[in-house]
Structures are given as C-alpha cells and as structure tokens.
Amino acid sequence: MIRILIAVVLLLSIPSTVVANPYAVPHPDSMTAECTRIGHKLGSVSRAECLAMEMHPSGGHSAAGQLILMREFPPVKGKTPRARVLLIGGTHGDEYAAVSVVFKWMGFLRRYHSGLFHWQVVPLLNPDGLLQRHSQRMNSHGVDLNRNMDTPDWESKSKHYWIKRTHRDPRRYPGESPASEPETQWLQDEIARFQPDVIVSVHAPYGLLDFDGPPKGPKHIGYLYAHALGTYPGSLGSYAGSYRHIPVITMELPYAGTMPTATQIHRIWIDLIHWIKRHIPKHETTQFRRKIEQQKLSEKPTT
Ligand SMILES: [Zn+2]
C-alpha cells in the first residue's frame, strides 16, 4: 500500500509540461524513429516507403531537436549534370500533400535518376509542425518558417507586415529576428553550400504556381498555373529569388489534405523536368547573375 502511495505521489509530482509536451521526441537522432512518425502521420507515405528512400540526416535539426532528413541524387559517372536542383517539401507542417508529393517524386528519382540534374531533396523541412498530434503550419517555436528567412527587408518590414497586414496572425509569425529558427539557419546554410541553380518548394492549398527570380517563370506545370502571390519579407522566394537571383518555383497544390492523382503527380514531374531542362541554368540566368555580380563589384568603393 505504501509503495502504491509513493508511486502515486511520484506520478503526481511530474510537471505537467513534461507530460503534455506535444513535441516530445523519443529518439531524436534516429532516422527510423522519424520515418515511423512520418508513416503514422501521412496516409500516403508508409514507414516502409520512408525508410526505402534511404535518406540521411542533413546535419540540421528542428527547434524541438528532430532531424531534417534529405536525400542526394548526385551526378552520374561520365555525365555532367545540367543543373543543381534543391527540392523542398513540408515548410508548413499542416500541408500534408506537399510532403507526400515530394516523397513520390523522390521515389521517381530512386528508380529513374539519370544524372540529368544533381538533386538535393528535403521532403520535410518542418518536422515539428507535421509530426505532432495536431499538425501546424509553424515550427515548435510558433514561427512561420516561410517568413523567417534573413532577407534585407526583414528588420524594416517583417514585424510591421505581420502586425498591420495579418493582424498578428499566429500562423504567420515571422519570429523574433531574421533566421532565428534552426530550420531557417540550416536552409540558408544548405543554399550557400549546395549552390542550387533552381529551388523548387512545394506548398498547399492555393492550387497555383509562383515564381521568383530570373529568368521568366513557367506559365504552367502540370495543372498548376502561374499566378504571382507577391513577395513577403522573410519568405524563401524573397530570400533566394529576389535577393540571391536563384530561381524559386513555388508550387501550391490545390488541397493540403488530399493528394493529387497519380497522373497529376506524374504530369507535374514531367513538366518540371522539361522546364528546368529548357531554362535552367540558361543564358539569361547566368548572364543576369554575372551582370549583378559586375554591378556589385563596380559599386564597391575603391580603397
Ligand atoms: Zn505553405
């Protein structure tokens, strides 16, 4: 009886925050554990499918300590890739289809990678947002990762925009400072390291295509048609497209919780490959970047 009483007292003495922490991660450094959580969460990606992708830890972690997983499809022997492509899903944790579709494309690459491009694939940039009981757009600090990138206008515009335009919408909170979040820092480092010629970022549910940076964007990819959303301070399109002149294709699938059909997923993929092959890195991109570099050099004061 005394033992039972002690056990009850001990149980009651556990701080409720520990019990209620929705971000409790049992094995933060285990890829298998993360694939298990992904398999439980996504109706369209099983644990086995996740494991079969043979992803590896990218070195990056989420705010709650979960792994940011990635898979590289490197150059093939004897073939120079035409471009380096960074493909990202799951920036927003409640856009399930955006994560699942990237898994499906990763599956295509596993089967058919020809060396045409050099790929880095990150299907889930925001594991904290997705892998919890009630998935959410933001990371575990409550920050919208697509408003937290270190853009030159972040300090002057981000908070102001959040307060005036979104009326302090918690789903669009840009964070306390630019790149305050480990996921954002990792992504910025990865862009600097990998030097992608184009970035493809998958979201939902607006059912459209957005484009930032040179050259001119595609009119449509599969059933997604171009419709400029505008640029937001701290967004990836702004950070990479507008300021670093790396083309960013933002795909907005039409539904966050419903997958496109297999045919639609395939069609988008084929169109994407064709567009990148035709335009990236094309003369205008390279010339544009060269022009910008020259401008920067000529603007530098001589000492
Ligand atoms: Zn999104």
Give domain limits for the chain.
45-291
Using the mean position of ligand 1's atoms as its centre, give its distance from the Cα of residue 204 in Å: 5
Query: Model-level pTM?
Result: 0.85
Chain segment 107-127, per-residue pLDDT in tens: 999 999 999 999 999 999 999
Using the mean position of ligand 1's atoms as its centre, give its distance from the Cα of residue 155 in Å: 22
Using the mean position of ligand 1's atoms as its centre, give its distance from the Cα of residue 228 in Å: 15
Using the mean position of ligand 1's atoms as its centre, give its distance from the Cα of residue 82 in Å: 28
Using the mean position of ligand 1's atoms as its centre, give its distance from the Cα of residue 282 in Å: 28
Alpha carbon of residue 263 to chain centroid: 24
Using the mean position of ligand 1's atoms as its centre, give its distance from the Cα of residue 202 in Å: 7
Weakest-pLDDT range from 102-106, 230-234, 280-284: 280-284
CA–CA dist 265, 102 (Å, integer)? 10
Residue with tokens 């890195």: 281
DSSP helix/strand/coil, 214: coil
Per DSSP, helices labelled H in 174-282 are 182-194, 236, 243-244, 262-279
CB-count exposure of residue 142 (10 Å: 0-12, 13-18, 19+) = middle
Residues above pLDDT 90, as percent of the chain: 79
Supply the pLDDT for residue 230: 81
- Within 13 Å and on the Cβ side, how many CA atoms surround 143? 25
Query: Each residue of 224-256: b (16+ CB within 10 Å) or e?
Result: beeeebebbbbbbbbbbbbbbbbbbbbbbbeeb
Using the mean position of ligand 1's atoms as its centre, give its distance from the Cα of residue 9 in Å: 45
Using the mean position of ligand 1's atoms as its centre, give its distance from the Cα of residue 92 in Å: 5
Chain segment 201-224, per-residue pLDDT in tens: 999 999 999 999 888 899 999 999
For CA atoms 75, 80, 82, 84, the dihedral sign is: positive
Using the mean position of ligand 1's atoms as its centre, give its distance from the Cα of residue 46 in Å: 22
Structure tokens at 163: 């307060």
DSSP secondary-structure letter at 167? S
pLDDT at 181 over 80: yes
Using the mean position of ligand 1's atoms as its centre, give its distance from the Cα of residue 208 in Å: 12
Using the mean position of ligand 1's atoms as its centre, give its distance from the Cα of residue 13 in Å: 40
Residues 6+ apart with CB under 8 A from 211: 217, 218, 226, 228, 237, 241, 247, 248, 249, 250
Using the mean position of ligand 1's atoms as its centre, give its distance from the Cα of residue 206 in Å: 9
Using the mean position of ligand 1's atoms as its centre, give its distance from the Cα of residue 302 in Å: 44
Using the mean position of ligand 1's atoms as its centre, give its distance from the Cα of residue 271 in Å: 21
pLDDT at 19 over 90: no
Return the CATH fold of 45-291.
Aminopeptidase (3.40.630)
DSSP E strands in 94-252: the ranges are: 117-122, 198-203, 208-212, 220-221, 224-225, 248-252
Using the mean position of ligand 1's atoms as its centre, give its distance from the Cα of residue 1 in Å: 54
Supply the pLDDT for residue 303: 37
